[in-house]
């Protein structure tokens, strides 16, 4: 088991300027030490969407731009 940490990330669409926030969980997986952390979206506030899987990009629901990848 790795270390799990939740945090809130502010979101702002680079294309249309829509703002919101997302609650994310990062799981420091020892098998991937030194690489990027696993990131899971727990909750999204605002007109954004993400697939419910690890490291899925968060997209703007208005213009489909990638807001966080």
4 token code pair: 């799990």
Site for Zn ion contains 49 (CB under 5 A): no
How would you list the strands of the sheet with 66-68, edge to edge?
A: 48-49, 58-60, 66-68
Query: Site for Zn ion (CB under 5 A): which residue of 24, 50, 58, 60?
Result: 60
Q: Of 16, 28, 42, 54, which lies in the binding site for Zn ion, with binding defined by CB under 5 A?
A: 16
Q: Which helix (H) or strand (E) holds 40?
A: strand 38-45
11 binds Zn ion (CB under 5 A): no
Left if phi > 0, otherwise alpha if psi is -120 to 50, otherwise beta: which for 18?
Answer: beta
| Part of the chain binding Zn ion (CB under 5 A), chosen from 5-13, 23-31, 33-41, 48-56 | 5-13
Binding interface with Zn ion (CB under 5 A)? 13, 15-16, 18, 60, 62-63, 65
């Amino acid at each position: 088991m790795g270390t799990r940490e939740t945090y809130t990330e502010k979101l702002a669409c680079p294309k249309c300027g829509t703002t919101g926030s997302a609650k994310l969980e990062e799981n420091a997986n020892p098998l991937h030490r030194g690489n990027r952390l696993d990131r899971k979206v727990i909750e999204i506030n605002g007109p954004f969407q993400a697939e419910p899987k690890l490291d899925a990009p968060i997209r703007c629901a208005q213009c489909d731009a990638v807001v966080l990848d």
